[in-house]
Structure 1
Amino acid sequence: MSRTRLRLGLGVTALLTASALLPTPAQAEAVTDYAITLDPAARGAAIDDTMYGVFFEDINRAADGGLYAELVQNRSFEYSTADNSSYTPLTAWTADGTAEVVNDGGRLNERNRNYLSLGAGSSVTNAGYNTGVRVEKGKRYDFSVWARAESGTTLTVTLKDAAGTLANVRQVAAKGGWRKYTATFTATRTSNRGRLAVATTAPVALDMVSLFPRETYKNQPNGLRKDLAEKIEALNPGFLRFPGGCLVNTGSMEDYSEASGWQRKRAYQWKDTIGPVEERATNANFWGYNQSYGLGYYEYFRFAEDIGAMPLPVVPALVTGCGQNKAVDDEALLKRHIQDTLDLIEFANGPATSKWGKVRAEMGHSKPFGLTHIGVGNEENLPREFFARFQQFRAAIEAKYPDITVISNSGPDDSGTTFDTAWQLGREGKVDMVDEHYYNSPQWFLQNNDRYDSYDRKGPKVFLGEYASQGNAWKNALSEAAYMTGLERNADVVKLASYAPLLANEDYVQWRPDLIWFNNRASWNSANYEVQKLFMNNTGDRVVPSKATGTPDVSGPITGAVGLSTWATSAAYDDVRVTSADGTALLTDDFSGDASKWTHSGAGSWTVQDGQYVQTDAAAENTMVTAGDPAWKDYDLHVKATKKSGKEGFLIAFGVKDTGNYYWWNLGGWNNTQSAVEQASDGAKSTLLTKAGSIETGRAYDIDIKVRGRQVTLYLDGQEWGSFTDDKPAEPFRQIVTEDARTGELIVKVVNAQDRAARTAVDLGGAKVASSARVTTLAADQDAVNTETDTPVTPVTSTFRGVAPEFTYTFPANSVTFMRIRQG
Structure 2
Amino acid sequence: MHGIFFEEISHGGEGGLYGELIQNRGFEESKIPEGCTLDSGFLVPPRTPHYSAGRVVDWKMPFEAKNDYPAWSLATTGGAVARLALDLSQPLYPETPRSLRIDIASMPRTANVAVINEGFWGISVQQGAAYTLTFHSRTEKYNGVMTARLVSADGKTLAEHVFERVQGSGWKKYTATLRAHASDAQATFQLVLSRPGTVWLDFVSLFPVQTFRNRPNGLRPDLAQYLADLKPAFVRWPGGCFVEGISPQSAPNWKKSLGPVERRPGTYSPWGYWSSDGLGYHEFLQFCEDIGADALYVFNCGVSCEMRSGVYLEDAHVDTLVASVLEAIEYAIGPQESRWGKVRAKQGHPEPFPLRYVEVGNEQVGERYAKRFNIFYKAIKEKYPQLEILAAMGIAHLSQPTIRAVGKMDIADEHAYKAAGWAMTYADWYDKYPRKDWRLYVGEYACNAGVGAGNIAAALNDATFILGMERNSDLVTMSSYAPLLENIHDTDWPVNLIRFDAGRSFARISYYAIKMLNEHKASVNLATQVSAPIDTVTPAFAGKIGLSTWDTQTEYKDVEVIQDGKVVYHSGLIRKEDWRLTGGQWEVRDSVLAQTKAGAWPLALLNTKSFDTYTLKLKARKTGGYNAFMIPFAFRDDQQYMRVHLGAWLNKVAAFETVTTGADAIVSQPVRLEQPVELNRWYAIELRVNTTTVDCYLDGKRLMTYHTPADLFAIAGRDDKTGEVVIKVVNAVGRARPVSIVVNDLALEPAGTAVVLAADSPDDENSFESPQRFVPQTEPVHGIAKRFEYVVKPWSVTVLRARIKRP
| Bin of the TM-score, shorter chain as denominator length | 0.7 to 0.9
Structure 1 residue aligned with 2:291: 307
Runs (5+) with no aligned partner, structure 1: 1-50, 255-265, 644-648, 692-699, 716-722
Deviation of the 1:808 alpha carbon: 1.4
**Alignment partners' CA distance in 2, 1:92 and 1:654:** 50
Q: Is the 8 A contact 1:482 1:733 kept in 2?
A: no
Q: Which residue of 2 is the match for residue 805 of structure 1?
A: 786
Give the percent of matched residue pairs that are identical in Structure 1 and Structure 2: 29
1:334 Cα shift? Answer: 2.4
Q: In 1, distance between residues paired with 2:630 and 2:17?
A: 43
| Structure 1 CA distance for aligned equivalents of residues 707 and 741 of structure 2 | 26
How many angstroms apart in 2 are the aligned matches of 1:714 and 1:423?
38
Q: Residue 246 of structure 1 is aligned with which of 227, 241, 247?
A: 241
Name the counterpart of 2:262: 278
Shift of 1:701: 12
Alignment partners' CA distance in 1, 2:663 and 2:393:
22
Name the aligned partner's letter for residue 96 of structure 2. N
2:52 maps to what in 1? none
Post-superposition shift, 1:729? 4.4
**Displacement of 1:286:** 1.2
Deviation for aligned residue 1:239: 0.9
Report which stretch shifted further, 463-472 or 281-290.
281-290
Q: Secondary structure at the residue paired with 2:375?
A: helix
Residue by residue, what CA displacement relative to the aligned partner does 1:22-47 show, whole Å, maximum 9, x if unpaired? xxxxxxxxxxxxxxxxxxxxxxxxxx
Deviations 1:619-670 (A, max 9, x none): xxx7754444775746565455669xxxxx999674572322345879999x
Q: Distance in 1 between matches of 2:277 and 2:793?
A: 46
Which structure has the larger Rg over C-alpha atoms?
Answer: 2
Q: State which drifts further: 785-794 or 79-88.
A: 79-88
* Superposition map of 1:678-757 within 5 A: 679-686=658-665, 688=667, 727=706, 729-757=708-736
Assess, with a 3 A threshold, how the Cα gap between structure 1 residues 811 and 276 changes in structure 2: closer, same or farther.
same
Contact 2:125–2:185 (Cα < 8 Å) also in 1: yes
The alignment partner of 1:548 has SS state of: coil
Question: Which residue in 1 is equivalent to 2:134?
Answer: 144
Task: Report the equivalent of 1:526.
Answer: 508
User: Shift of the alpha carbon at 1:727?
Assistant: 3.7
Alignment of 1:662-681 (within 5 A): 662-663=642-643, 679-681=658-660
Q: 1:299, 1:703 → 2: CA distance? A: 66
Pick one of 405, 419, 437 that aligns with 2:399.
Answer: 419
Deviation per CA, 1:274-313, whole angstroms, max 9, x where unpaired? 2211111233321122322221222111111111111112
Q: Counterparts in 2 of 1:113-124, with a 5 A limit?
A: 113-120=97-104, 122-124=113-115
1:113-164 CA-to-partner distances (Å, cap 9, x unmatched) read: 321001246431011123x111111110001112223566532211111241
Please give the residue correspondences for 1:489-508 in structure 2 after superposition, counting only pairs within 5 Å. Answer: 489-508=471-490
CA distance in 1, matches of 2:160, 2:341: 42
| Paired letter, 2:351 | K
Q: Please say if 1:134 is aligned against 2:118.
A: no
Deviation, structure 1 residue 165 = 0.6
Task: Spell out, residue by residue over 1:653-690, the C-alpha distance to the aligned partner (whole angstroms, 9 max, x if none).
Answer: 74572322345879999xxxx99996423443355399
Q: Secondary structure at the match of 1:372?
A: strand
Tell whether 2:438 aligns with 1:454: no
Q: Tell me, yes or no, if structure 1 residue 474 matches structure 2 residue 465.
A: no
Tell me, in whole angstroms, the C-alpha distance in 2 between the residues paired with 1:393 and 1:728. 46
Q: CA deviation at 1:574?
A: 4.1
Post-superposition offset of 1:606: 6.8
The reply on whether 1:442 has 2:420 as its aligned counterpart is: yes
Deviations 1:21-78 (A, max 9, x none): xxxxxxxxxxxxxxxxxxxxxxxxxxxxxx1011111112101111111111121222
Q: For 1:231 and 1:517, how far apart are their aligned partners in 2?
A: 11
Query: Match for 1:774 among 753, 756, 767?
Result: 753
Aligned counterparts of 2:494 and 2:756: Cα–Cα separation in 1: 25
The equivalent position to 1:62 in structure 2, one of 12, 16, 19, is 12
CA distance in 1, matches of 2:399, 2:579: 40
Query: How many aligned positions are there?
Result: 719
In structure 2, how many angstroms separate the alpha carbons of the residues matched to 1:689 and 1:246? 30
The aligned amino acid for 2:774 is V
Q: Which residue of 2 aligns with 1:268?
A: 252
Relative to structure 1, the CA distance from residue 246 to residue 634 in structure 2 (aligned partners, 3 Å threshold; closer, same or farther) is: farther
- Report if aligned partners of 1:447, 1:728 keep a CA contact under 8 Å in 2: no
Give the Å deviation of 1:392: 1.6
| Higher RCO by CA contacts (8 Å cutoff, separation 6 or greater) | 1
The one-letter code sitting in structure 2 at the alignment partner of 1:216 is T
Q: Per-residue CA shift, 1:569-623, capped at 9, x if unaligned?
A: xx8x644336669999988999xx99995433xxx897989x997889x9xxx77
1:641–1:702 contact (8 Å) kept in structure 2: no
- CA drift of 1:373 comes to 0.8
Question: Which of 489, 495, 505 in structure 2 is aligned with 1:513?
Answer: 495
Give the distance between the partners of 1:701 and 1:71, measured in 2 at CA: 66
Partner residue in 2 for 1:785: 765
Q: What is the CA deviation profile of residues 79-108 of structure 1, one whole-angstrom value per residue up to 9, with x for unaligned ones?
A: 335563453233222213534333434222
**1:431 match: secondary structure:** coil
The answer (yes or no) to whether the contact 2:554–2:595 under 8 Å persists in 1 is: no
d(CA) in 1 for partners of 2:217 and 2:420? 39
1:319–1:325 contact (8 Å) kept in structure 2? no
SS in 1 for 2:718: strand
Q: Which amino acid aligns with 1:446?
A: M
> For residue 820 of structure 1, what is the aligned residue in structure 2?
801
2:526 touches 2:717 (CA, 8 Å); kept in 1?
A: yes
Q: Is the 8 A contact 2:257 2:280 kept in 1?
A: yes
Q: Secondary structure at the match of 1:173?
A: coil
Cα displacement (A) at 1:457: 3.1
1:705–1:301 CA distance, 2 compared to 1 (3 A) = farther
Cα distance in 1 for residues equivalent to 2:711 and 2:212? 40
1:155 aligns with 2:140: no
Partner of 1:23: none
For residue 492 of structure 1, what is the amino acid of its counterpart?
Answer: D
State which of 71, 96, 101 in structure 2 corresponds to 1:112. Answer: 96
Q: 1:182 maps to which residue?
A: 175
The 3 A distance-change label for structure 1 pair 487 and 204 is same
Distance 1:597 1:820, change over 3 A: closer
2:47 paired residue number: none
**CA apart distance, 1:325:** 6.5
Query: Which of 436, 441, 446 is residue 463 of structure 1 equivalent to?
Result: 441
Between 1:82-91 and 1:550-559, the stretch displaced more is 550-559
Q: Which residue of the other structure, out of 120, 141, 159, is the alignment partner of 1:167?
A: 159
Matched-pair contact (CA < 8 Å) for 1:559–1:633: no
Amino acid of the structure 2 residue aligned with 1:168: E
CA distance in 1 between counterparts of 2:634 and 2:7 reads 36
Correspondence for 1:84: 63
Aligned to 1:328: 312
- 1:767, CA displacement in angstroms? 2.3
Is the 8 Å Cα contact of residues 577 and 587 (structure 1) preserved in structure 2? no
Asked if structure 2 preserves the Cα contact closer than 8 Å seen for 1:250 and 1:324, the reply is no
Aligned to 2:192: 199
Q: TM-score of the superposition, structure 1-length normalised?
A: 0.78
Task: Return closer, same or farther for 1:142/1:228 CA change in 2, 3 Å cut-off.
Answer: same
| Contact 2:148 2:160 (8 Å CA) reproduced | no
CA contact (8 A) 2:561 2:570 kept: no
Q: Is the 8 A contact 1:635 1:708 kept in 2?
A: no
Aligned partners of 1:793, 1:204: CA distance in 2, in Å?
Answer: 52
1:538 aligns with 2:520: yes
Q: Distance in 2 between matches of 1:190 and 1:667?
A: 62
In the alignment, structure 2 segments of 5+ residues that lack a partner are 31-40, 44-61, 76-80, 108-112, 671-678, 689-693
Query: Which residue number in structure 2 is paired with residue 485 of structure 1?
Result: 467
Read off the aligned partner of 1:448 and give its amino acid letter.
Answer: Y
SS of the equivalent of 2:394 reads coil
Q: Which residue of 1 aligns with 2:55?
A: none
Q: 1:236 to 1:626 in 2, by over 3 A?
A: farther
1:249-279 Cα distance to aligned partner (Å, 9 max, x none)? 241113xxxxxxxxxxx12332332221111
Compared with structure 1, are the counterparts of its residues 152 and 327 closer, same or farther at alpha carbon in structure 2 (3 Å cutoff)? closer
What is the CA-CA distance between 1:553 and the residue it aligns to? 7.1
Deviates more, 1:170-179 or 1:291-300: 170-179
Matched letter for residue 235 of structure 2? L
